[in-house]
Amino acid sequence: MSTLVTPEILRGTRDFLPEEMVKRNYVMNTIRAVFKSFGYGTIETPVIEYLSTLLGSYGEEGNKLLYRFEDNGGRQVALRYDQTVPFARLVAANHRELPMPFKRYEINRVWRADRPAKGRYREFYQCDVDIIGTESLVAEGEIAKVVYSVFTTLGFSNFLIKINSRRLINAILQSLGVPEGDQISIIRILDKIEKIGRSEIQKELAPFLDAKKSAELLDLILMKGSNQEKIQAVAKYGISEVAEFLDICADYEIPEKHLEFDLSLARGLDYYTGIICEVILPDIDIGSVCGGGRYDDLCGRFCKEKFSGMGVAFGFDRMVLALEELGLLKDIVTHTEVLVTYFSPETRQKSIFLVNLLQKEGIAAEIYFEPAKLQKQLKYADKKKIPFVIFCGPEEIQKHEVKIKMLKTGKEKTIPEHQLINYLQGFSGE
């Protein structure tokens, strides 16, 4: 007798049962529909890439989180960490055939060798949307409108799109005498400010800035006030893209209450160069649920031409978790609309006939596979949250009738068989 294998999975990965997948597919299809409504086409890139493709794009911390290994051919490879770098590689290889600017979305799994926690997994989905081949801030504006549309369409009412500018951060650091080579190191430190707090950040800044300049920097990036007050406070640095971006967001009719100019926002990945953004849900302690920004030089790693791009990634799994906690997925039910009962070999043919009839009319239906007592079949339907059960016993068959039970109310109604489709379609139209 063979030894039983323990049915377990790695920490940070998950299985999903049908009831969960119904909800996940609903969220994913909603996001996809928003992307398509803005004219984005989809692409797909490999799960596995050469290590050299990914290494060096994410900074020191990101490099540590790469799932890397040597394959059977001795090649150094890694699972994709995000979808932006593979996208840049794809554009570099195909830019002569692509319409520029090129707009794409991709919904797929990524992998990070991270420490699992609430809303943080080692295998998870990202929903990316990008525009590449233009430096226009209108691209940032459109991406912001996509973000706004996704969250409002899913039913979120309280969300905040935090925005900042990498160019502005670099200008501030330059004014403090920070050499260009040290700026990205400081940005990585600032990216941790919400996790470790001001005092710890000051300690980590010590090798780069004296106490006075460190305090000056933190006072500025942590300042409170309206978006306009913050814009006025940084006007001396000569970086006007935040103000222009907010004007474009107004043109796109994004309510100002959903936009916050946050000078402490840094986004730790190395490839960002301009406007950066992040979405938080103030009602739930789950971290950011969407983030991204402008990247001017990413394709330059793969070809001589440089294509400036702007994009964001939605943290799909965190968004599903947030929707669950906010009670916004309660009404999402199984795909099956009707269960047709099966009581005996004599009723089988009629039961299958009804299933065929329903499916031909676009009504999702299934049959209970074995002759069984009514209570057992009702229990099955209840467990799957199937709203309608059709009784098809000898008596109903003889009279050319069907009995329909609504599980939610317990109400039963007997109707002529030929009225079945119209009856059910009447409910779907309510």
Give the model's pLDDT for residue 430. Answer: 44
- Are 141 and 289 in the same domain? yes
CATH code, domain carrying 372: 3.40.50.800
- Are 413 and 390 in the same domain? yes
368 found inside a domain: yes
- Are 72 and 107 in the same domain? yes
Compute the radius of gyration of the chain from its Cα atoms.
Answer: 27
- Are 250 and 154 in the same domain? no
CATH code, domain carrying 285: 3.30.930.10
273 found inside a domain: no
Give the model's pLDDT for residue 77. Answer: 96
Give the model's pLDDT for residue 207. Answer: 85
Q: What HEC string does the chain produce?
A: CCCCCCCCCCCCCCCCCHHHHHHHHHHHHHHHHHHHHCCCEECCCCCEEEHHHHCCCCHHHHHHCCCEEECCCCCEEEECCCCHHHHHHHHHHHCCCCCCCEEEEEEEEEECCCCCECCECCEEEEEEEEEECCCCHHHHHHHHHHHHHHHHHCCCCCCEEEEEEHHHHHHHHHHCCCCHHHHHHHHHHHCCHHHHHHHHHHHHHCCCCCHHHHHHHHHHHCCCCCHHHHHHHCHHHCCCHHHHHHHHHHHCCCCHHHEEECCCCCCCCCCCCCEEEEEECCCCCCCCCEEEEEECCCHHHCCCCCCCEEEEEEEHHHHHHHHHHCCCCCCCCCCCCEEECCCCHHHHHHHHHHHHHHHHCCCCEEECCCCCCHHHHHHHHHHCCCCEEEECCHHHHHHCEEEEEECCCCCEEEEEHHHHHHHHHHHHCC
- Are 85 and 227 in the same domain? no
Burial of 91 (0-12, 13-18, 19+ CB in 10 A): buried
Last residue of one domain, picked from the residues 332, 349, 370: 332
- Are 26 and 149 in the same domain? yes
106 found inside a domain: yes
* 193-205 and 180-190 helices, crossing angle to 10°: 140
**Average pLDDT per consecutive 10 residues, the chain (430 residues; last block may be shorter):** 87 90 93 96 95 85 89 95 91 92 95 87 94 95 97 96 93 88 86 84 85 86 91 91 96 96 85 93 92 87 87 94 90 80 91 93 92 92 90 89 91 91 75
169 found inside a domain: yes
Total structural domains within the chain: 3
Containing structural domain, residue 226: 165-258
| Torsion over CA: 133, 289, 41, 268 (sign) | positive
- Are 362 and 419 in the same domain? yes
268 found inside a domain: no
5 found inside a domain: no
Give the model's pLDDT for residue 209. Answer: 84
- Are 194 and 326 in the same domain? no
406 found inside a domain: yes
- Are 220 and 238 in the same domain? yes
- Are 414 and 382 in the same domain? yes
Q: What HEC string does 322-390 produce?
A: HHHHCCCCCCCCCCCCEEECCCCHHHHHHHHHHHHHHHHCCCCEEECCCCCCHHHHHHHHHHCCCCEEE
Query: 366 Cβ partners below 8 Å, 6+ apart?
Result: 336, 338, 339, 340, 355, 386
- Are 150 and 293 in the same domain? yes
46 found inside a domain: yes
Query: 421 Cβ partners below 8 Å, 6+ apart?
Result: 357, 358, 361, 363
Give the model's pLDDT for residue 193. Answer: 84
Per-residue b/e over 379-389, b at no fewer than 16 CB within 10 Å? ebbeebebbbb
Give the model's pLDDT for residue 126. Answer: 92
- Are 252 and 293 in the same domain? no
Last residue of one domain, picked from the residues 332, 351, 371: 332
Last residue of one domain, picked from the residues 332, 350, 366: 332
Give the model's pLDDT for residue 335. Answer: 76
